Amino acid sequence: VNNLKQLPTGKWTWKYDKLLRSAGRMGRKQEPEVTDRLWKYVESLSCPTLVVKGDRSDVIAAGTADQMHKRIPGGKIAIVENAGHLVMGDNPSGFERAVTTFIQGI
């Protein structure tokens, strides 16, 4: 299991980017050049792509996820209920349904 780590207490927790969980991250501005470069990467995708977002995610805004799927040629989006940013762990059956539906449509 690569997305979990054991705490000194013996309990398990998700691995995550500490920057995403740091205080003040929501007010942090990204440099425009970096943002432009990232959107160009998104727009360059040429394979069938599904953007999966948890409806309770506090990492990816709904508008950002919507722009991602619109900028990917033929991109699709699935909003999974009862899930935060770690959709596979928060709602495995909802994630599976979203991906299965997407794959069946290819």
Q: Where are the domains of the chain?
A: 41-106
Q: Average of pLDDT values for 47-62? A: 93
> Is pLDDT at 1 greater than 60 in this prediction?
no
pTM: 0.74
* pLDDT of 31: 80
* DSSP secondary structure code for residue 22 in this structure: S
Q: For residues 46 and 61, what is the distance between their CA atoms, to the nearest angstrom?
A: 23
**Is the model more confident about 77 or about 34?**
77
Long-range contacts, 42-47 (Cβ 8 Å, 24+): 42/68, 42/71, 42/72, 43/71, 43/72, 43/73, 45/72, 45/73, 45/75, 46/73
Q: Average of pLDDT values for 91-100? A: 97
